[in-house]
């Protein structure tokens, strides 16, 4: 949402991207990363083509396009529907 964009830009003015990493492994082996522009940030981040009835682990960080600004944070466990 716009409020989230403003909060991120105020706290981290150099941040341009949110990198979301996801994997079925808790240690993030063979993890995939999706980059989302802060300008295109919505209330929800939707990832397609996840396998049904599996548990995925997610983590996120901010970057300026060349290097990460924050460490991986906001770890979350999500189970996909059948």
Read off the pLDDT of residues 11-50 as tens digits, 9 standing for 90 and up: 999 999 999 999 999 999 999 999 999 888 777 778 889 9
Kindly report the pTM of this predicted structure. Answer: 0.83
Q: What percent of the chain has pLDDT over 70?
A: 98
Per-residue 3-state assignment (H helix, E strand, C coil) for 9-73: HHHCCCCCEEEEEEECCCCCCCCEEEEEEHHHCCCCCCCCCCCCCCEEEEEEEEECCCCECCCCE
Using the 8-state DSSP alphabet, how is residue 80 labeled? -
2 has a pLDDT exceeding 80: no
Q: Which residue has the higher pLDDT, 77 or 42?
A: 77
- The yes-or-no verdict on residue 4 having pLDDT over 80 is no
């Amino acid at each position: 949402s716009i409020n989230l964009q403003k909060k991120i830009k105020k706290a981290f003015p150099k941040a341009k991207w949110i990198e979301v990493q996801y994997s079925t492994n808790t240690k993030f082996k063979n993890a995939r990363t999706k980059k989302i522009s802060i300008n295109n940030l919505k209330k929800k981040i939707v990832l397609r083509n996840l396998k049904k009835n599996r548990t995925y682990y997610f983590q996120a960080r901010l970057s300026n396009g060349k290097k990460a600004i924050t460490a991986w944070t906001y770890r979350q466990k999500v189970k996909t529907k059948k």
